[in-house]
Structure 1
Amino acid sequence: MAPPLSNRRGALLYLLAWLLIGVALGGICAALAAARLVNALLLTVPTTVVYGIAAGFSAYYLCHANPIGTRPPALIVLMVAAAAVLAGFMWLAVLQGFNELCLSFAVDWAGVNLSAELTALLFALGVLLYGLLAALHYLAIELDRARNAERRELESRVTAQEAELRMLRMQIDPHFLFNSLNSISALTSQDPRAARDMTLQLASFCRHSLALAAQRKVTLEQEMTLIRHFLAIEKVRFGERLVTEEALERGALACLVPPMIIQPLVENAIKHGIGGLPEGGLVLVAAWRDRDSLRITVSNAVDPAAGSGTRLRSDNGIGLVNVRHRLACAYPNAASLTWKREEGTFAVDIVLPAQLGEA
């Protein structure tokens, strides 16, 4: 909490509050002292504003020098009570001194007869007002502490989330790289030219992947560039057996997605779908905007005789499980991944928020 009068708006509100308190005290003094209202207001308004400024700074520094938890509660209460009593005496001295000054003018509109009862009331109000200021300062300190703790917790959660995303992201790269190197090794003795082409395509893919690795999100258009490099690598191995199509809505290409979120799905589509079909088949990647959501579908032909769980049994659980975990980390409770199999086709659907820029 900033000290009183630290900014213009806060200072105006603070002074206005004490001005209203001074007016209220003027009404009380006028009633109890049987004096005219103008006399009471002339006494209470300026002295109350001055007291509010002095007491505000005093309570602020007292509370910040003795925050709750650093000293025994009884000691803090005793210190605040002693400061409040001292402030009450000082306010009373200022009131009486200013009142004597007003009476010395010997005019009807200045000065009030301060009786013993009124003096005791003003002293008690001064003590209570100081105690209220101290309580408000302690409340503000605790609220700031709670906000800071919440912010630190959020920062730690974000850090842990980013670490988990990096871990999941790192699982994809060696998995894909090992598969590609195995394919190149198999082609070396059978078709050296195809192995060379595949090596060049893999180099292009790695360069493009490294360029995007440092980014938390990439556009769908950049992600599709990676997918095209990957498909070019796979087409060297599968030849005419692999047929690919894209159905990408123009408005969806600018949306942000986690890097390499589609590649594992396409890899699974080829490995567990097209790879099991002697005649090959189609792999379709589609994306479109649906109001505030981005929908991405990867579908492929599968062997009708294969079990419904074939596509789910990717190496070491990498694939759909990895993508689902990454979506859960990047979009908590805001993204989903589902799959279905029907009439010789297996399709994976991703729904995530349509973001055009980092929040």
Structure 2
Amino acid sequence: MQGPLSTRRGALLYLIAWLYLGMALGVVCAALAHTRLVNGLVFALPTTPAYGIAAGFSTYYLCRANPLGTRPAPLIIVMLAAAAILAGFMWLAVLQGWNELCQGLGVAWAGVPVGTELSALLFALGALLYGLLAAINYLAIEAGRARNAERHALEARVAAQEAELRMLRTQIDPHFLFNSLNSISALTSQDPRAARDMTLQLASFCRHSLGLAGQDKVTLEQEMTLIRHFLAIEKVRFGARLVTEEALEKGALACLVPPMIIQPLVENAVKHGIGQLPEGGLLLVAAWREGRGAATRLRITVSNAVDEHANSGGAGGIGLANVRQRLACAYPNAATIAWKREDGTFTVDIALPGETKES
């Protein structure tokens, strides 16, 4: 059940607060009525928590039925003022009835003389407490509404990011497939056996990529399996011109990455870097972890030889733009990508959170 007593902990704290208020009111009543403290406590302590529970439920449902913004503010103020005055009179009537019942017991420690001053105080206190509870309920309702709006906005943003990620991932598969089919077509007349080997490697690559297509994150080891299939396809075309190396830290292989996040970089390195060199060159993929605990970062670099006189050496195609957008969607403000070209080498450096399945 919703409201002020929606949880056991909340109900206990609410009851304790009203018990303390009842004890304080009992002390004040004893002083104003010039009677003993025990009489004041017997008069105020049982009825104050009961009023707190009744007023709490009343204000909660009244505020829920009349949320801010749905009706004119003056009308809500007048309605709450009338409800507070009515609650004050009802509490005063309950206190007086309880006092008469206690006095009827004929014992010295029960009942207090309720004069005009004490009655006015009790009525005013009841009305003020009702108004305070209404204000607290309105604050809680508006805070809950703000949290819900924030949650809905976050859900919408996440849904938009997931849609963008799916769109970006679908750009990669046709792009790579078309390039591979063009290569197979070129090899068909020049080297039928190489074309056949390349077709088989492409089939293996597609099987593995389809197995990972439905996952948001894969391990770096799984990603590298795809990279090796891709490079096997390219080696059929380039032969000894394409030299590959890996420098993979063991701990980095368990880290999670978006699927096919490295493949576009490797494809660009082959097509726009090594593919432009008559003598070919080296392509290096390295990965390692930095830091510890929650601050662990995964670093991935893809380096390739380039023509020093050419304008591009791995920066062409959709590869870098696609990877940058996917990283921004998957790790908002938590991943970076940078590239540089020097000494005949083009290097792309990626840094992202070092997440694992365990973490």
Give your verdict on TM over 0.5: yes
Q: Secondary structure at the match of 1:67?
A: coil
Q: Distance in 2 between matches of 1:279 and 1:322?
A: 29
Please give the TM-score of this superposition, normalised by the length of structure 2. Answer: 0.96
Q: Which SS does the other structure have where 2:46 is aligned?
A: helix
- Among 294, 299, 308, the alignment partner of 2:298 is 294
Contact 2:334 2:353 in 1 (8 A): yes
SS of the residue corresponding to residue 259 of structure 1 reads coil
Contact 2:172/2:264 (8 A) holds in 1: yes
State the AA in 2 paired with 1:112.
V
User: Does the 8 A contact of 2:306 with 2:313 survive in 1?
Assistant: no
Query: Matched residues in 2 for 1:214 and 1:162: separation?
Result: 12
Match of 2:240 in 1: 240
Give the Cα–Cα distance (whole angstroms) in 2 for the partners of residues 118 and 65 of structure 1. 34
- Whole-angstrom distance in 2 between the partners of 1:297 and 1:112: 84
Percent identity between matched residues is: 77
Which amino acid in the other structure matches residue 341 of structure 1?
Answer: R
Report the counterpart of residue 79 of structure 1 in structure 2: 79
What is the distance in 2 between the residues matched to 1:107 and 1:241?
Answer: 108
Determine which of 298, 307, 310 is the counterpart of 1:306.
310
| Cα offset, 1:321, TM superposition | 1.2
| Pairwise CA distance, 1:278 | 1.0
Aligned residue for 1:16?
Answer: 16
Q: Which amino acid letter does the alignment assign opposite residue 123 of structure 1?
A: F
* TM-score scaled by length of structure 1: 0.96
Q: Indicate yes or no: 2:131 matched with 1:131.
A: yes
State the SS of the aligned residue for 2:114.
coil
Residue 32 of structure 1 pairs with residue 32 of structure 2: yes
Indicate whether 1:167 and 2:171 are aligned.
Answer: no
Q: Which amino acid aligns with 2:188?
A: T
Letter in 1 for 2:314: R
Aligned ranges for residues 73-112 of structure 1 at < 5 Å? 73-112=73-112
Letter of the 1:190 partner, please give it. Answer: Q
Question: Is contact 2:269–2:313 with CA below 8 Å preserved after alignment?
Answer: no
The structural deviation recorded for 1:192 is 0.8
6-15 vs 287-296, which moves further:
6-15
Q: Which runs of 5 or more residues in structure 1 are unaligned?
A: none
| Equivalent position SS for 1:285 | strand
Query: Could you give the per-residue CA deviations for residues 108-167 of structure 1, whole angstroms, max 9, x where no partner exists?
Result: 211111110110110010001011111111111101000000000000000001111111
Deviations 1:46-96 (A, max 9, x none): 010111111111111111111112222222222211111111111101100
Equivalent residue letter for 1:305:
H
User: Residue 181 of structure 1 corresponds to which residue in structure 2?
Assistant: 181
Corresponding residue SS for 1:11: helix
Distance 1:332 1:347 in 2: 23
CA distance in 2, matches of 1:179, 1:207: 17
Q: Does the aligned pair in 1 maintain the 2:201–2:232 contact within 8 Å? A: yes
CA distance in 1, matches of 2:104, 2:321: 88
Q: Which residue of 2 aligns with 1:347?
A: 347
The offset of 1:227, in angstroms, is 0.3
1:178-220 superposed Cα distances (whole Å, 9 cap, x missing partner) = 1101000000100111111111111111111111111111100
Secondary structure, aligned partner of 1:138: helix
CA distance in 2, matches of 1:328, 1:4: 42
Preserved CA contact (<8 Å) 2:297 2:351: yes
Match of 2:51 in 1: 51
Deviation string 1:258-291 (CA, Å, 9 cap, x unpaired) is 1111001101111111111111111110000011
Aligned residue number for residue 270 of structure 1: 270
TM-superposed deviation, 1:358? 8.6
Task: Please give the alpha-carbon distance, in whole angstroms, between the structure 2 residues aligned to 1:302 and 1:177.
Answer: 24
Distance 1:229 1:276 in 2: 22
Amino acid at match of 1:98: W
1:253 alignment partner, SS class: helix
- Cα distance between partner residues in 1 of 2:3 and 2:328: 43
Q: Aligned residue for 1:122?
A: 122
- Amino acid in the other structure paired with 2:305: A
Structure 1: which 4+ aligned runs deviate by more than 3 Å?
Answer: none
Matches of 2:176 and 2:152 in 1, distance apart? 37
Structure 2 match to 1:62: 62
How far, CA to CA, are the matches of 2:78 and 2:309 in structure 1? 83
Contact 2:246 2:284 (8 Å CA) reproduced: yes
| 2-structure distance, mates of 1:353, 1:10 | 38
- RMSD over equivalenced CA pairs, Å: 1.3
Structure 2 gaps of 5+ residues are none
Rounded to whole Å, the distance in 1 between the matches of 2:154 and 2:171 is 26
Instruction: Return the alpha-carbon distance in structure 2 between the equivalents of residues 70 and 299 of structure 1.
Output: 62
